[in-house]
Structure 1
Amino acid sequence: MSDDIQLISDGDGLAVIGEPAAVERFVADQGLSAKKLELSRLSGFLSAGGALAQAGSEIAANSGRWVKLTPESAQHVKQFGLMPSKTHGVSHAMVGRPGEIKKWLQIDKGPGTLARNPALLTGAAGIMTQLAMQQAMDEITDYLATIDEKLDDVLRAQEDAVHADLIGVGLDIDEAMTLREHGGRVNEVTWSKVQGSSSTIARTQAYAVRQLEAITEKVEHKARISELADATKDVAAKAQGWLAVLARTFQLQDAIAVLEIDRVLEVAPDDVDGHRLGLRAARQKRLDTIAQVTHHLLTRMADAAGTANAKVLLNPIQSPAIVQSSEKVALAVADFHGPLGIASGPELVEARAWTAAATELKGKVLDTGAEGLDASRRLGTETLDRAKSVTGRISGGISGGIAGGIAGFRRRGSAEPDAGEE
């Protein structure tokens, strides 16, 4: 029984292939969470001939596991020195654990079965791409489960028929994925049900993006605090729903990609490498577009919070309301970014810092009550001038400004200027 195993990476995941017991030992020793890698699906790359027949026999005797490459898991496998292969973006290594030594070592005796056969390595890379997309789909499923009712409400409230179409397309694709799971392949009948779905998904995705852009523009064009409070409230009410729609479209696009790779593996195996790379590039392009839109939304909400911060002493009721809306949107976007793998920019960090400080400020503002407002009226012009001085100091940054505002309230006790407009 051999402990030799093959490691294959495509940048998104790691395939661990070898004798079943050795694979399980390696995964356990490295503390990795792995999914099953179905090597039997590589049979489409094998044809008659001694070398390929032998490769098929070796593959049949082995098992595989797939691991999503996170920064943590990547450190586990970095020690094995994976080397580039002839397949674009794919690297490999052979490792083993001699005797009772509990340390896996790189084997200096050439590549394994898959690395010696470019076609098989390409096929394995295609399957790994599918597993990466299925992992992303699972994470989106978990995200949507927390707001499932909200998603249904958004879709059903729209008069545009494309939203109703998305629900139907989703049912067809979910059925196709179930048939694939039970049948092990995507036959022509199954594929015929979903092959025209991409355009419907793309239209819905574009529509959701436009809706997010539209509500962002409403915040940009409001100058008065009262108008800004209404606009940010509207954004907070609608943003999560449209983010949920976007997440669902991404989930369905990933499912279509999984089904596409199955079909290419079966009917045009020579095209698998180019197709998987194209799918990854197209997905990244969509992610970049949505990242830009959501980051812009966060920036505008952070700007609104900054405006509220600068005028918090003059508007002790509406300013905290703007803060609450900004907080709600920031958290909704953070929840959305996570399963899609979108990196959060500095504006989300600032928004969270604002949220933490604003929670304390909200209590301070409300605690002043009517007595504080009456006292502020008696202070007249002198207090207004002091308020302007405070707002000038706190307008430089969101979280820092909140701290300054709180300090201003503490210095004044219950005294507070009139809660008017600018």
Structure 2
Amino acid sequence: MAEEIEVYGDDDGIMLLGDSEDIQQALAELQISEEHTTDISKAAILKTAHRATKMFGKAQERSGRWVKLTKESAQKAREHGFLRNNATGNFMGVIGKGGKGGIKGNVQFERIAGGFNPAKVANVEMLMLTMALEQAMKEMTDYLKQIDAKVDQVLRQQKNAELAKFLSVAGLVAEAENELSHIGTLSDATWDQLGNSAQTVNEVQQYSLLQLKDIAEKIASSVNDTRTTKDTLVKARSGIGDWLAVAADCLRMRDRIDMLKVQRFIDADITPDLLSKHRFVIAENRRARYHSITDATAHLRQAIKEAVQGKDDTMRVILLPMDAPVVMREGNAIVDALARFDKALGEEYAVTHFSEKQWNDAMGEVGQALADGTGHLLQQAGDNLKEGTKQVGNLVNGAGDQIKKAFGNFPKLW
């Protein structure tokens, strides 16, 4: 590459500043597709010429690309020598010219060529924060469209005055964004109108987390009864979807408010050190919000696993042929919904589905066990009597023909 490329990075992403062709070469060496990056010239915070000049001066004429830091891109960064600066906790350096001609092992951190000054570093870090905010808001918007979320309906159904305030916050934030896009700055009067909007959003988010926690506890308490598990999961499925949508909209709303806050900070004449501190606080608070929600989804996944696990065993499928399969299907549907939500938050993992044993297969296993002269499944039936006594009685009274058909050619198992 002909010239040096400035490299910055934080917990959310990596930014490359320099000549466009050099950046393309660097991305190729990093094995990062350009289509997975964002052109910084499209950043909302730089739409105003005054703000762009204030942040970067002549540097705004240079090209720049930002890429979201995923597990894959983070690994590539480590492989190519992108280490954290001990002083800031972020990435900062140059690549290319004056070294090995490539990227690996050619990153400087303590003394960076090109005269990096505190103001420039603070502005670049704030730009990276806004890029992360924009990306997160886009992903939350896409998620809410994907599930056709009706957040306003969910909140209205609660008939809670505090929750209803969330809808008014959405209107105020939209008005502030409209003012910013047309005028370029946010007036003190408009900012004052927002008032305690962030606190209101936080309260709604906490309420949604409490609802998800309550659902998880109900699922966990159903672990010893298949029919109760089925009824609980059927009822929980829609509730989980509703409150995940509310949590997603709360995250998006806080990011929108943070974006307004960042632009207020940029427009104010504050020191680079204070600007960096504001960026740090905003980023830390965002991480805390995201972790509180991913903790809730992890708790839900564990509760579902414990409640569903074992519900596909042979005797349960036979004794409760109408319930056990529903448990499997509902459990799988919920873990899929949780995975989609977590993916929108940047948390990707392999989804483990619960197996659904078919009734015919279960009966075949019983027949084979009896033919082999083993008593294994008979013992299993005895072990299940405590859980199944009530259910079996109901089945005998309400579905006698089905039971006779199921066991007509086999010795009685109880």
Q: Provide the C-alpha distance between the structure 2 equivalents of 1:122 and 1:241, rounded to a whole number of angstroms.
A: 39
Q: Provide the C-alpha distance between the structure 2 equivalents of 1:103 and 1:117, rounded to a whole number of angstroms.
A: 25
1:236 corresponds to 2:237: yes
Unaligned regions of 5+ residues in structure 2, if any?
385-404
Q: Counterparts of 1:57-206 in structure 2 under 5 Å?
A: 57=58, 59-78=59-78, 81-82=81-82, 85=85, 88-96=88-96, 106=106, 111-113=112-114, 116-181=116-181, 183-206=183-206
Q: Provide the C-alpha distance between the structure 2 equivalents of 1:309 and 1:417, rounded to a whole number of angstroms.
A: 23
Contact 2:234 2:330 in 1 (8 A): yes
> Which position in structure 1 is the counterpart of 2:274?
271
1:285 corresponds to 2:288: yes
Q: Provide the C-alpha distance between the structure 2 equivalents of 1:384 and 1:79, rounded to a whole number of angstroms.
A: 57
Q: Provide the C-alpha distance between the structure 2 equivalents of 1:416 and 1:176, rounded to a whole number of angstroms.
A: 72
Q: Provide the C-alpha distance between the structure 2 equivalents of 1:304 and 1:97, rounded to a whole number of angstroms.
A: 59
Cα displacement string for residues 182-219 of structure 1 (whole angstroms, at most 9, x for unaligned residues): 55544435433434211110111111111111222222
State, as a whole percentage, how many aligned pairs show the same letter.
26
2:325 counterpart (320, 326, 334): 320
TM-aligned CA distance change 1:28 to 1:386, over 3 Å: closer
SS in 2 for 1:338: helix
Cα displacement string for residues 350-380 of structure 1 (whole angstroms, at most 9, x for unaligned residues): xx231xx21xx24747x97xxx9xx99xx9x
* Shift of residue 384, structure 1, vs aligned partner: 9.7
Count of residue pairs the alignment pairs up: 368
TM-aligned CA distance change 1:199 to 1:136, over 3 Å: same
Contact 1:42 1:120 in 2 (8 A): no
- The structure 1 segments of at least 4 consecutive aligned residues displaced by more than 6 Å after TM superposition are 382-385, 390-393
> Which position in structure 2 is the counterpart of 1:259?
260
SS in 1 for 2:38: strand
Q: Provide the C-alpha distance between the structure 2 equivalents of 1:213 and 1:416, rounded to a whole number of angstroms.
A: 45
Cα displacement string for residues 225-251 of structure 1 (whole angstroms, at most 9, x for unaligned residues): 322221121111211111111011011
* Shift of residue 157, structure 1, vs aligned partner: 2.2
1:299 counterpart (295, 299, 302): 302
Q: Provide the C-alpha distance between the structure 2 equivalents of 1:232 and 1:158, rounded to a whole number of angstroms.
A: 21
Q: Provide the C-alpha distance between the structure 1 equivalents of 2:57 and 2:249, rounded to a whole number of angstroms.
A: 38
Moved more, 302-311 or 71-80: 71-80
TM-aligned CA distance change 1:84 to 1:7, over 3 Å: same
Q: Provide the C-alpha distance between the structure 1 equivalents of 2:275 and 2:226, rounded to a whole number of angstroms.
A: 56
Unaligned regions of 5+ residues in structure 1, if any?
46-54, 394-412
Cα displacement string for residues 372-422 of structure 1 (whole angstroms, at most 9, x for unaligned residues): 9xx99xx9xx999735437979xxxxxxxxxxxxxxxxxxx975899xxx9
1:37 corresponds to 2:40: yes
TM-aligned CA distance change 1:92 to 1:328, over 3 Å: same
Contact 1:86 1:118 in 2 (8 A): no
Moved more, 248-257 or 71-80: 71-80
Contact 2:317 2:359 in 1 (8 A): no
* Shift of residue 22, structure 1, vs aligned partner: 4.0
* Shift of residue 89, structure 1, vs aligned partner: 1.9
Moved more, 253-262 or 22-31: 22-31
Task: Give the TM-score, by structure 2 length.
Answer: 0.75
Q: Provide the C-alpha distance between the structure 1 equivalents of 2:353 and 2:280, rounded to a whole number of angstroms.
A: 39
TM-aligned CA distance change 1:83 to 1:363, over 3 Å: same
Contact 1:42 1:124 in 2 (8 A): no
> Which position in structure 2 is the counterpart of 1:334?
339
Amino acid at match of 1:319: A
